[in-house]
Amino acid sequence: MSQTAPGMSPAVGSRPERKPYGWLVFLALGGLVALSGPAVAAVSPFLDALLWSGLQGAATLAVLFGIRRYRLGRLRSWRLIGLGIVTAWLANTVGWSLGWIWLKSQTLLTVYQVGTLVGYALLLTALILMSARVGASRWTGLLDSGIITVGVAMPFWTFVIDPAIDLGVHSGSDLTYALITPFVDLIVMGMVARLLFDSGRPPWLLLLAASFAAIFVADGAYLLDQAAGSAQTSAVATIGWLAWSVLIGAAALHPSVARSAELRAVPTADRSRVTLFLALALISPLVSSLGRPFVDTESQPHDDMAIMAWTVVLAVLLVLRLNTVARLAETRAADLDRHADQLTLQTRQLSAALHTQEMLQRSLAHRAFHDPLTGLANRTLLGEALQQALSAPAVAGEPAPETPPALLLLDLDGFKDVNDTLGHPIGDDLLTQVAHRLRALCEPGLTLARLGGDEFALLLPATSAQVAVELAHTIVERLRAPYRLGEHEIYLTTSVGVLAETEISTPAEALRDADLALYAAKAAGKNQITLFTPELRSARLEHSRLIAGLRQALAREELAVRYQPVVELDSGRIVAVETLLRWQPGDSRPIPPDVFIPLAEESGLIVPIGTWVLERACADAARWHARHGLSVTVNISGRQLRDPGFAETVLAALERHRLPARALVLEITESMLLATTPAETERVIGVLQGLRAHGVRIALDDFGTGYSSLAYLRILPVDIVKIDRSFTTAPSAADHAQARAFTKAIVELSASLRLGTIVEGVETREQAVVLHQVGCTLAQGYLFSPPATARQIDNLLETTPWENVA
């Protein structure tokens, strides 16, 4: 609301815009009074004095009013003008009108003269201050003033001063005072002209300039009057002096004066300055020399000299001024250079910034599509590559290629344990090495990706199943070589799911099918390669269905145990029974343990189920042990052994059913220890040792299969070795002989290690005889009994039917 427009003085801006014409009225009335000056002077010196001090008084009031009205008091120049005009008025009124005209006091006349000079000097100072504010520099402003002054002075000299001196010489009048003032006026005029030239000529400044011009004219006329020895002051001088004060008053009243604080150099086209200077430099000497004969009645040699001197001064000033221009040009050129340098610097910085941004963008894009650890493609990029591979023919408008792309999914077996036991940095190192080996196997055009964790993928464009599986074998082989990680040496196997020669429509579908193949590979015992078949999809479905059913099995009482007798070949007596789990879902046929036990392990359900088996076995065995000294063996899966509460569960079951620890045998397989890391194996061995300390015995199941290493027999806390039934039921005669030799060796080794042996899968009497001959003492198999119910075992114990079996 009260906002002031920029550049507008508050005094003016806050009022409604109304152009005051007071200055014009003052100028017109004052001008009329000034014009009447000579006439009034002729009537009476007293009236003349009254007019002088009256008009000057009015002008003084006008100036003071203007200063107040337009708030010029804050400007030093206007304060000086005000002071100057007040001084001049006081000098005039007190010194001249009162002191001289009325009182005829010589002292007061001097006061008048001094006062007038002081007033004039104050105005001059004000002008210098204004001039200093306008212009490129004080020096150039001064030079410009000088050039104008000298340029004007030359004809002034020729047409006014020189004739006046000549006249004065003749009339004998003293011109000293009269001669000085025009020169001062000249300098002032030069300054005012320069000021006008550089400032954009605001009206108030024009009026001020006019006031100085009036004085200049008046002083010039007065000089001529004096030179002519005239006692009367000429009308021109009188009007000029009176006009001086009127014009100053008008300048102070003019509305434009409100912006005198903003008096600044306006850029004037240097061409007009050059024109002015050129005019002064050429025309002044020319006019002075050519016009002199008309005004100068008596030419003297010093007159030519004077014009020459003026010309020289003008030339010197012009040269100096030229120098400032040259210097200005130099500094501007330097400025431009610096500017250009800055620009180059900025350009360089800008391009550096752009480069950085580009790098950043590239690295961000790389990050979005790559695995930060290995630098391989990530799942997103693989998805895109798959999409491209799947849709490539459609895009190119060509017929679909015969062979669709192949996808290999890799999973490092047991990587999680490396991570858990050796720490993540070593795990990361291992992954990096794996990535390195994989990359070395990849030809260009293949997409190798890490999908997260220890899962890798390889996309092969248009590849047959045979080639894909061959590559999978190469990969498994290459990844099997030991890894050196600090002081550790690690062996890894890999499971691979291969998807090839299969119609796929989306990347998600491809990944899911390859994943099914990978899952099948892992389920098949890891370190495997499985090619995807559509059956895997239904198998997977069945798999999920089974796990869901198993989850309910305990609560629905669908689980049961059977016991298979372990018979002493010498006596035909049952010395132990092996507990074997059965699952009969309510709505379907029985599910074989070979099918549901792995599912129970995978889902973790084996822990509660295993506890239940243990409880049942201990409950039944307590009775058999009490009556017949029987032991009971229970199969324990790796998952159960790694469960922290396992030992407690076992001891609690023994305690609850009052079964001595010696009557319990836990069957474990070596493969389940192999699947874990050395540290985990050590921990499990500790658990087994703890149980053995209580008297529980440990049997090593399925001995002779898988990774069987005799060395394990030394490090594992084992009491009994169960020789796998593949040794018992060798298909051909040659195999038979070899199997027999092996069995013999195992039995002898076990004996030397003070381990008991049980042979499994004995189906015929012949087998039993042969096994007995090679030293087997205990046997188990359909020959004696299939897994039986507890009630059936009770019956068998009463009858003891195998007295002369071997």
List residues binding ligand C2E (CB under 6 A).
Answer: 564, 579-581, 592-594, 597, 610, 613, 635-637, 667, 701-702, 725, 761, 763, 781-782, 787
What residues from 266 to 325 belong to the interface with Ca ion (CB under 5 A)? none
Q: Considering CB distances under 5 to 8 angstroms, the limit depending on partner class, which of ligand C2E, Ca ion, none binds residue 564?
A: ligand C2E
Q: Which of residues 225 and 667 has its CB atom nearest to Ca ion in the complex?
A: 667
* Collapsed DSSP state (helix, strand, coil) of residue 522: helix
- Provide, rounded to whole angstroms, the least separation between the CB of residue 611 and Ca ion: 18
Please report whether residue 670 would count as binding Ca ion according to CB under 5 A.
no
The listed partner (ligand C2E, Ca ion, none) that binds 592, CB under 5 to 8 Å by sort, is ligand C2E
145 binds, among ligand C2E, Ca ion, none (CB under 5 to 8 A by kind): none
Rounded to a whole number of angstroms, the minimum distance from the CB of residue 735 to ligand C2E is: 16
The two tokens of residue 47 are: 């009236």
**Which CB atom, from 277 or from 703, has the smaller least distance to ligand C2E?**
703
Partner whose footprint covers residue 435, from ligand C2E, Ca ion, none (CB < 5 to 8 Å by kind): none
**d(Cα 519, Cα 533) in Å, to the nearest integer?**
12
Least distance between Ca ion and beta carbon 693 (Å): 23
Residue 433 binds which entry of Ca ion, ligand C2E, none, CB below 5-8 Å type-dependent: none
CB of 632 to Ca ion, least distance (A): 12
- Residue 761, binding choice from ligand C2E, Ca ion, none, Cβ under 5 to 8 Å by partner class: ligand C2E
Find which of Ca ion, ligand C2E, none residue 60 binds, CB within 5 to 8 Å per kind: none
- Map tokens 């290459």 to a residue: 478
Least Å distance between CB 779 and Ca ion? 13
Instruction: Restricting to residues 633-662, name those near Ca ion by CB under 5 A.
Output: 635
Which amino acid does the sequence have at 734? A
CB nearer to ligand C2E: give 21 or 782: 782
Length of the chain: 806
Residues sharing a CB contact under 8 Å with residue 190, sequence separation 6 or more, in sequence order: 145, 146, 147, 148, 149, 150, 152
Total Cβ atoms within 10 A of residue 262: 11
Tell me, rounded to whole angstroms, the distance of Cα 354 from its chain centroid.
13
Compare residues 533 and 729 and give the one whose CB is closer to ligand C2E.
729
Q: Is 329 exposed, middle or buried (0-12, 13-18, 19+ CB in 10 A)?
A: exposed
Per partner kind, with CB cut-offs from 5 to 8 A, the member of Ca ion, ligand C2E, none near residue 637 is: ligand C2E
Please name which of 216, 209, 234 lies closest in space to residue 161, comparing C-alpha atoms.
Answer: 216
CB of 523 to Ca ion, least distance (A): 19
Pick 78 or 703: Cβ nearer Ca ion: 703
Burial of residue 421 (CB within 10 Å: 0-12, 13-18, 19+) is middle
Least CB distance from residue 699 to Ca ion, whole Å?
8
| Long-range contacts of the stretch 275-281 (C-beta < 8 A, 24+) | 276/148, 276/197, 277/147, 277/151, 277/318, 277/321, 279/151, 280/147, 280/148, 280/150, 280/151, 280/152, 280/314, 281/151, 281/314, 281/315, 281/318
Query: And the tokens for 344?
Result: 């180059």
**Spatial separation of the C-alpha atoms in residues 573 and 719, rounded to whole Å:** 20
Of 561, 494, 576, the residue nearest 529 (C-alpha): 494
Burial of 711 (0-12, 13-18, 19+ CB in 10 A): exposed
**Shortest reach from residue 369's CB to ligand C2E, in Å:** 45
Angle at 339 between CA 335 and CA 344, to 5 degrees: 150
Judged by beta carbon, residue 157 or residue 563, the one nearer Ca ion is 563
Alpha-carbon distance of 242 to 97, in angstroms, equals: 14
Q: Which residues pair with 171 in a beta bridge?
A: none
Site string for Ca ion, 686-705 (x = CB under 5 A): ---------------xx---
386 binds, among Ca ion, ligand C2E, none (CB under 5 to 8 A by kind): none
Is 667 an interacting residue with respect to Ca ion (CB under 5 A)?
Answer: yes
DSSP state at residue 95: I
Tell which residue, 145, 143, 179, 158, has the closest CA to residue 307. 158
Number of residues that bind Ca ion (CB under 5 A): 4
Q: Which does 581 bind (CB under 5 to 8 A by kind): ligand C2E, Ca ion, none?
A: ligand C2E
Q: What b/e string do you get for 652-672 counting C-beta neighbours within 10 Å, with b at 16 or more? A: ebbeebebebebbbbbbbbbb
Backbone angles phi, psi at 631, to 5 degrees: -105, 160
Compose the 196-235 pattern: x for residues touching Ca ion by CB under 5 A, - for all others: ----------------------------------------
Q: Which is nearer to ligand C2E, 503 or 594 (CB)?
A: 594
Closest to Ca ion by CB, 82 or 787: 787
Choosing among Ca ion, ligand C2E, none, which partner's interface includes residue 594 (Cβ < 5 to 8 Å by kind)? ligand C2E
Residue 608-637 contact track with Ca ion, rule CB under 5 A, x = bound: ---------------------------x--
Shortest distance, position 583 Cβ to ligand C2E, whole Å: 10
Residues that bind Ca ion (CB under 5 A): 635, 667, 701-702
